[in-house]
Homo-oligomer: A and B are copies of this chain.
Amino acid sequence: MTLVEEYLQIRKYSEQVCEPLQTEDYVVQPVVDVSPPKWHLGHTTWFFETFILKPFSSNYQVYNDDYNFVFNSYYETVGNRVIRTDRGNLSRPGVNEIYQYRAYVDEAMVNFLANALNDEVRELLVLGFNHEQQHQELLLTDIKYILGNNPLFPVYVKDKKEVSVIQNEPGWIDIPAGVYEIGYDGTGFSFDNELNRHQVYLHDFAISKTLVTNAEFLEFIHAGGYENFNYWHSEGWDWVKSNHIASPMYWHLMDGEWFNYTLGGLLPVDLNAPVSHISYYESYAYASWKGMRLPTEFDWEVAAKHFNWGERWEWTESAYLAYPGFSKAPGAIGEYNGKFMVNQKVLRGASIATPQNHSRITYRNFFHPHLRWQYTGIRLVK
């Protein structure tokens, strides 16, 4: 596949994810962590325009100078107009205007990519691909949040499944103690936070081949897991109490039966599916109730070649920290990952919202421990 083909394929996929939406669905931002779909479409476009076309494509005409106000991730204002606003308050630019913006930038990019590219541009281009793919994952989970918190429970796509692969046979994988290599060492793209490849000493452990299922998580609920502070971190317990948490997100108890909002609509909870939309706090409490623990991200990276993964992002016990020798790229691109390395937990794997070929065994995702809108899951270690 040529770079142009890859560019067009990735750009098209963002639009495909939005195809089932009505115009209104593109606009809202129900909570701060969820961005409006139209913002994702504009922001990923602004990324290519700002970091590739403006600096490297001579004669490129910026589509609209004002878009910097609305599609910059930080909303720091430029020039005279200082207006503090949130993404979900912005009705303009409208959805059609943003699709026109995408078309304009795509045309300019296709022309630009016909030229010989130097290494710096190539690197930025691949970063742009990966950046858009990260947003594709958020796009789907943000859409789920927008639809799933509407009292009409609108269907995204009829019969849309949230489980795609066959789970492994139940069982445990034993990993012996020793020094292991961790981090990316391939020749393709990786994020700065996957570098450098380095050594970690692991003690022996056994890791489950399978993710915890809804049936298993229901046992935790029935055993009073949400009402016993002994299973929880102190901050997790505060979170449970002050938010009245008593089940995974999207679960609704209706006339004694548990229902689950999925992209295919509101359905009875699928007992065999892996539990999803749980916080780190809930993952920890579940493991604690079982007398087991979550894997560290290093446990996971070493063991993951021995089981199927990719259905749920898996919470690990590890805090999101720099690897030995970590260094930031210079300039705005360098802001990418390092500044988030405090108060967050690492997730490993991928989820059914992850675009194909986007994830790898060394990929490190990270979220604050209370967040639940991603397809998160639990794998146990003993």
Min CB gap A252→B, angstroms = 7
A91-B146 in contact (CB<8A): yes
Q: Which of A25-33, A165-173, A213-221 contacts B (4 or more CB under 8 A)?
A: A25-33
A27-B30 in contact (CB<8A): no
Would you give the 0/1 interface string for A83-116, flagging 1 where the beta carbon is closer than 8 Å to chain B? 1011011111111000000000000000000000
For chain A, the bracket of interface size reads 35 or more
- A342 contacts chain B at the CB level, 8 A cutoff: yes
Identify which of B77, B91, B152 contacts A24 (C-beta below 8 A). Answer: B91
In this complex, what residue of B is CB-closest to A204?
B324
A317 CB contacts on chain B under 8 angstroms: 321-322
In this complex, what residue of B is CB-closest to A341?
B233
Within 8 A of B (CB), among A240-268: 252, 254-255
A369 CB contacts on chain B under 8 angstroms: 342-343
Would you give the 0/1 interface string for A142-182, flagging 1 where the beta carbon is closer than 8 Å to chain B? 00001101111110000000000000000000000101000
CA distance A354 to B343 in the complex (A): 27
Task: Give the most central of A27, A29, A236: most B CB within 10 Å.
Answer: A27
Tell whether A233 pairs with B91 under 8 Å between CB atoms, given A151-B66, A151-B85, A321-B319: no
Residues of A within 8 A of B (CB): 22-30, 38, 66, 69-70, 77, 80-81, 83, 85-86, 88-95, 146-147, 149-154, 177, 179, 198-201, 203, 230, 232-237, 252, 254-255, 280-281, 284, 293, 317-319, 321-322, 324-325, 335, 339-343, 345, 369
